Structure 1
């Protein structure tokens, strides 16, 4: 593979140039040296690392977690990576439970709204007003 400019690297990974720079500032992607009078060039390992970060982000890992995974990426730390993924999975499951609770509450409110006929006070708006006064 030929060496890539930051723009070509970003395009190859399907991200913006500013995303590459952001990941560099966060320590997730190394910033290659600049030869005198030239621009930085990125190689295959940089592209693979950028794909890794993008994939991990797609699974909802935080940048901190991704940094930890990158430190474990040599293949000899599977147990530690699995523990990190296990904690992340528990967090995802907790968020899903909360989203299901929200879904059921909204369904109940919509059913109440849809059962009303005529000029009645909206049950959804009323319940939201109650939440505001309770909070």
Structure 2
């Protein structure tokens, strides 16, 4: 019967072989330190090559007005901009502003839904960055409460 140590050893060996053969996705290994450490929406957009974002009706963001549990806040966001190359989700008052980042292509519908953790009440931003570097955003406020009473 294989032990946990044996299973881990074999798994690491397989991962090493896949990496050596170039079969691991490179984007999964990428890390944008400047974007992860950004403290504002403008800094995060700049880290991904975008300009200072301007508000646009072509970016859509749906979040609850009041979140009873900040550990699980449902967020849906997307864009109708045909030239969008990246879509970002940002929570202004989280310790790390950047929540999610998606690379877009013609074969991908630019609409996403996920659960995010919010440390406190904050503005939430969906930012679309176009191929020419212009950035557009939608903003909504989410109040994180105890028991959903809005206090």
Same fold judged by TM-score > 0.5? no
Greater Cα radius of gyration, structure 1 or 2: 1
**Greater share of helix residues, 1 or 2?**
1
TM-score, structure 1 as length reference: 0.27
TM-score, structure 2 as length reference: 0.25
Considering Cα pairs closer than 8 Å and 6+ residues apart, tell me whether 1 or 2 has the greater RCO.
Answer: 2
**Greater share of strand residues, 1 or 2?**
2
